[in-house]
Chain A
Amino acid sequence: MVVRRGGSLEGRIASSEITPHEAFLNRRSFVAGAAALGVGALALRQVPGLIHSGAVHAQQKLATVASKYNVPDAQTPFAKATTYNNYYEFGTDKSDPAKNAHTLQTRPWTVEVSGLVKKKQTIDIDTMMKYRPMESRVYRHRCVEAWSMVIPWDGYSLGEFISAMDPLPSAKYVQFLSDDSNKDMPDKPGGFNWPYSEGLRMDEAMNPLCLLTFGCYGEALPNQNGAPVRVVSPWKYGFKNGKSIVKIVFTDKQPHTLWNDMAANEYGFYSNVNPNVDHPRWSQAHERRIDSSTFPRTVPTLMFNGYGDQVASLYTGMDLKKNF
């Protein structure tokens, strides 16, 4: 964990009840102090291991407005949400992305919108971020691996962006393709069908819960969390939410998705959180809730991750055991 790496901080964190976010801020000021001592921001950039990629975004506070979509659950500390990530392009261990994602260059960044739309276009990330006021929404985040977090995401409803893009009536699905350039991700593991591809049915994507996400904890997304733009659909397992998106494609057929290509019996296209459908290797009835306690509590998993009121109607008449 990055937070413990700075030698001078080790004692302070271990000996007190500083919350990880504060610890992270302390570390950040440590980095700032080092810079002031003459190491210089440029030098730090040239030794990427010195700074946590999240710290690169330290100055990028986002202006957000309140949202009605908040869960009351205790939030996962920032330090845990940014050091325990599944982002295989940066390594298959959950501690890898925080160490390796500093190679991701998030500016300049554009998102190409194509497929079944009135006008194909390429949009600059900063234009995209300003399109709607950014809301801070506290969502439950359930990983298919049976752990969960509670994270304040910052963004606006994907549906608002999609409407602005004017998809054709024939568009039934929307596909999200992630960055896979060798420059940004020099050590992608082999054996995967890169780029990372995910998709949603159009009515799922238009559901206001589905968040086009640019930040978390009031700051621009750390690289390992999917900077500069990702999708968050909180009623689905985490892997449904494409990170570092570079292409959005409207299609009339169900798009292929990376994990479904890898193991169709484990990862369905819908992948709605469902305590009644086991993963082949573990039960999905419970989850380890990652919060500030030393050992995560095990809590029951809720149908649609507890968002049934907003999304259950999308699946009326569907057999969710078959369409898992």
Chain B
Amino acid sequence: MPTRWIPSIKALVHGVCLLPLLKLIEMYRSGALGLMADPVNWITHFTGYWTLFLLLTTLAVTPARRLHPRLGNLVRFRRMLGLYAFFYATLHLSTYLFLFSGYDLPTVLSGVRAGHPGVVVDEWKAVWPTILDDLKKRRFIQVGIFAWVLLLALAATSPAFVLRWMGGKAWRRVHTLVYVAAASGCVHYWWLVKKGVRAPLPMTLALAALLLARVAWSARKRWRNSVANG
């Protein structure tokens, strides 16, 4: 891929990554969300799905680069894909905190508009015990929050100046946590669904394939090195 194409492809990737968000906004504006029986449930699944999808896409960059020397500069898109994964993970978490938890967002919004900002805190006080209870008791929520915290750490250390400050080696070591985050995301999905539901299977298989590709690559490299050195 010629380097001069990169800016236009980047614009394209931004556009594609923003499509799910645009769809959400459009569904809200058109009233389609209101016709849906349980939009809160739908938004939760929608944002969760796109988080995992983008996370897997991020993880697919390295194996894809290795397919052909000319795909080398795919790495230029990896950070933005990862940051979009974090963006949707944050939307997913916000859906849980501000819609799923019972937080009455419509009341809060109309309260704020009417000049009573205190309602933001009042509503929060009302749902906080439920959220705390979830955090203490439910392992699928624990593993989900864990994955989000990892993504937060990766997003915070993603700017180039942080990389320079940390040094490439330490930075790469920290960023291998992306595997843990993706695996945690899959576990979060499996622990959520009812027994017998196999919806998380395609994502899990994709993750397994991406991890296997890495294992195969490093095995090949080790073998080649040993041949070269021996």
| Shortest beta-carbon distance from B88 to chain A in Å | 20
Q: Is the CB of B38 within 8 A of A283?
A: no
Q: CA separation between A298 and B107, bound complex, in Å?
A: 12
Which of B31, B33, B134, B195 is within 8 Å of A282, CB to CB?
B134
Q: Is the CB of A80 within 8 A of B140?
A: no
Provide the B197-214 mask, 1 if CB < 8 A to any CB of A, else 0.
111000000000000000
Q: Is the CB of A14 within 8 A of B37?
A: no
Task: Kindly state whether residue A177 has any CB partner on chain B within 8 Å.
Answer: no
Q: Is the CB of B195 within 8 A of A14?
A: no
Q: CA separation between A266 and B196, bound complex, in Å?
A: 13
Chain B residues closer than 8 Å to A109, beta-carbon distance:
none
| Shortest beta-carbon distance from B198 to chain A in Å | 8
Q: Is the CB of A1 within 8 A of B35?
A: yes
Q: Which residues 84-126 in A have Cβ within 8 Å of B in the complex?
A: 84, 88, 92-94
- Residue of B at shortest CB range from A300? B102
Task: Kindly state whether residue B130 has any CB partner on chain A within 8 Å.
Answer: yes
Q: Is the CB of A286 within 8 A of B35?
A: no
- Residue of A at shortest CB range from B191? A281
Task: Kindly state whether residue A187 has any CB partner on chain B within 8 Å.
Answer: no
Q: Is the CB of A283 within 8 A of B106?
A: no
Chain A residues closer than 8 Å to B30, beta-carbon distance:
14
Q: Which residues 10-58 in B have Cβ within 8 Å of A in the complex?
A: 28, 30-41
Task: Kindly state whether residue A31 has any CB partner on chain B within 8 Å.
Answer: no
Q: Is the CB of B138 within 8 A of A298?
A: no
Task: Kindly state whether residue B105 has any CB partner on chain A within 8 Å.
Answer: yes
Q: Is the CB of A294 within 8 A of B33?
A: yes
Task: Kindly state whether residue B155 has any CB partner on chain A within 8 Å.
Answer: no
Q: Is the CB of B38 within 8 A of A94?
A: yes
Chain B residues closer than 8 Å to A262, beta-carbon distance:
194-196
- Residue of B at shortest CB range from A294? B34
Q: Which residues 258-314 in A have Cβ within 8 Å of B in the complex?
A: 262-263, 266, 278, 280-283, 285-286, 288, 290, 292-298
- Residue of B at shortest CB range from A292? B34
Chain B residues closer than 8 Å to A278, beta-carbon distance:
137
Q: Is the CB of B40 within 8 A of A288?
A: yes
- Residue of A at shortest CB range from B29? A14
Q: Is the CB of B130 within 8 A of A80?
A: no
Chain B residues closer than 8 Å to A20, beta-carbon distance:
35
Q: CA separation between A290 and B28, bound complex, in Å?
A: 17
Task: Kindly state whether residue A317 has any CB partner on chain B within 8 Å.
Answer: no
Chain B residues closer than 8 Å to A157, beta-carbon distance:
none
Provide the A72-87 mask, 1 if CB < 8 A to any CB of B, else 0.
0000100111011000
Could you count the A-B residue pairs with CB atoms below 8 Å apart for me: how many are there? 87
Q: Is the CB of A283 within 8 A of B130?
A: yes
Q: Which residues 1-42 in A have Cβ within 8 Å of B in the complex?
A: 1, 3-4, 13-14, 20, 23
Q: CA separation between A295 and B197, bound complex, in Å?
A: 26
| Shortest beta-carbon distance from B134 to chain A in Å | 7
Task: Kindly state whether residue A189 has any CB partner on chain B within 8 Å.
Answer: yes
Task: Kindly state whether residue A169 has any CB partner on chain B within 8 Å.
Answer: no
Q: Is the CB of B102 within 8 A of A286?
A: yes
Contact A83:B37 (CB < 8 A) given known A14-B30, A286-B130: yes
- Residue of A at shortest CB range from B36? A1
Chain A residues closer than 8 Å to B134, beta-carbon distance:
282-283
Q: Is the CB of A288 within 8 A of B104?
A: no
Chain B residues closer than 8 Å to A286, beta-carbon distance:
102, 130
| Shortest beta-carbon distance from A321 to chain B in Å | 15
Chain A residues closer than 8 Å to B104, beta-carbon distance:
297-298
Which of A94, A280, A281, A297 is within 8 Å of B37, CB to CB?
A94
- Residue of A at shortest CB range from B43? A295
Chain B residues closer than 8 Å to A191, beta-carbon distance:
196, 198
Task: Kindly state whether residue A324 has any CB partner on chain B within 8 Å.
Answer: no
Contact A84:B192 (CB < 8 A) given known A281-B138, A295-B105, A298-B102: no
Q: CA separation between A288 and B37, bound complex, in Å?
A: 10
Task: Kindly state whether residue B99 has any CB partner on chain A within 8 Å.
Answer: yes
- Residue of A at shortest CB range from B33? A294
Q: Is the CB of A281 within 8 A of B31?
A: no
Contact A147:B38 (CB < 8 A) given known A281-B192, A282-B138: yes
Chain A residues closer than 8 Å to B37, beta-carbon distance:
76, 80-81, 83-84, 94, 147, 149, 290
Q: Is the CB of A295 within 8 A of B35?
A: no
Provide the A165-197 mask, 1 if CB < 8 A to any CB of B, else 0.
000000000000000000000000101100000
27 contacts between A and B (CB under 8 A): A4-B32, A14-B31, A79-B35, A80-B35, A80-B36, A81-B37, A84-B36, A84-B37, A147-B41, A149-B37, A189-B196, A189-B198, A191-B198, A192-B196, A262-B194, A281-B138, A282-B134, A283-B130, A283-B133, A288-B40, A293-B106, A294-B31, A294-B34, A295-B39, A295-B105, A296-B39, A297-B104
Q: Nearest 8 CB-CB pairs, A to B?
A: A84-B37, A298-B102, A294-B34, A80-B37, A191-B196, A263-B195, A14-B30, A262-B195
